[in-house]
Amino acid sequence: MKCLQKNDGMSLVEVLIAVSLLSMVFISASYATSISLSRSKYNQDRILATRYGEELEEWMRGEKESNWSTFVARSAASPGTTYCFSNTTLSWPSSGNCGTTFGLSNRFKREVKLVGTGTQVDVEITVQWRDASRTYSVPVDTVYVLWD
Amino acid sequence: MKKNKGFTLIESLIVVGVIAIIIPALFALFFSHLRAQSKVYLLQQVKQNGDNALNVIETLIKENTISIHSGSPPTSGNQVCTDASSTYSSTMYFLDRSGSYFNFAVASNKIASSSSVSSTVNLTSDKVAVTSFALSCAQGSSFSDPIVSVSFTVSQANSVNRPDESATLQYQTKMKLRPD
């Protein structure tokens, strides 16, 4: 009888401690997972944005190589001319920035600013995207010079 | 005997029910994390391979090529893109300064660089597939050097079940030869 009296299950304090320990483990695990989930989304967007920037840079170099005079005519002295490349197939749009439209693949905004006249043009490419009301951007800057 | 209560059936049912709600939620979060990671990994691989291939092709053509030919071995007879407004967009052989020549072609979804002096080298790995690889050349004016354009599409090699997991990137560039 004395032995059975001791067998009284868990006390409230014990249950509380166990539950709070368990919930701490669960909460930290889900927090860490969701943080790394948003980071990998960011990484993925950044890889794409960098590619879009480099793609435009290479295309610009092609434009410069094929005809310098038409290329430099699209540029202007500081503050320069801005273009918005919101199509995946590249062709010259009319000048002007993208405004608030993130039109490239419905997620990105790709703008380029051409500054300079004569034999040197500074090219500043900016690719931006939004994620959960924050705006991220990847800059790609380069300088094109007429050699010959 | 009165003190020996433990948990009742109802209490243990509630505990099991709560755990049954929490565990699937955690697993769903974890698996969406795994999927996002694998997508980043695929994209990274595709970009790495594409960047590398574009870099190698660009450097080889820009720094070494002196003329472009339509056949091998290159002779003055099969040289292409030599005068203004002449364009060419088929198999090309690039003659370099030492008299040897090289070319690029897609074989079994990989960009292969072959040359007259060394064995064929693949510029992309098995993990990615290259499609719509195109080379073309043109000359702007009579006294300028030919411009070579290259374009290709890189995607992951194994087809995926979910369309949103496919990683595809497009590459294109133009470069002017520097023969002198």
Enter the pTM of the model. Answer: 0.77
Q: Is residue B1 part of a domain?
A: no
pLDDT band at A139 (very low <50, low <70, confident <90, very high): very high
Q: Report CA torsion sign: B34, B38, B43, B47.
A: positive
Would you give the distance in Å from CA B76 to the centre of its chain? 34
> Is A70 in the B-facing interface, judged by CB distances under 8 Å?
no
Tell which residue, B100, B39, B179, has the closest CA to residue A37: B39
Calpha distance B20→B31 (Å, rounded)? 17
Residue A7: helix, strand or coil by DSSP?
coil
**pLDDT for B48-84, tens place per residue?**
999 999 988 988 888 888 888 888 788 888 888 877 7
- B27 interface with A at CB cutoff 8 Å: no
Split into its structural domains, chain B has a count of: 1
**Model confidence over A75-89: pLDDT tens digits?**
888 888 999 998 888
Write the DSSP symbol of residue B165. G
A66 reaches B (C-beta below 8 A): yes
The answer to whether residue B2 sits within a structural domain is: no
Domain extent at residue B113: 10-176
Beta strands of chain B (E only): which ranges?
65-69, 79-80, 87-88, 93-96, 101-107, 110-115, 121-122, 128-138, 147-156, 168-176
CB neighbours of residue B12 within 10 Å: 11
Among candidates B7, B30, B176 on the partner chain, residue whose Cβ is nearest the Cβ of A9: B7
Task: Give A-chain residues touching B40 at CB under 8 angstroms.
Answer: 40, 43-44, 47
Question: Average pLDDT of B138-155?
Answer: 82
**pLDDT tens digits, B41-51:** 888 889 999 99
Contact B145, B177 (CB under 8 A): yes
Best B14, B30, B43 residue to mutate vs chain A (most A CBs within 10 Å) = B43
B21 touches chain A (CB under 8 A): no
Do residues B41 and A44 make contact, with C-beta atoms less than 8 angstroms apart?
A: no
CB-CB under 8 Å, B40 with A40? yes
Q: What integer is the mean pLDDT of A99-111?
A: 86
ipTM of model: 0.71
Minimum CA–CA partner of B175 in chain A: A62
**Distance, CA of A106 to CA of B7 (rounded, Å):** 56
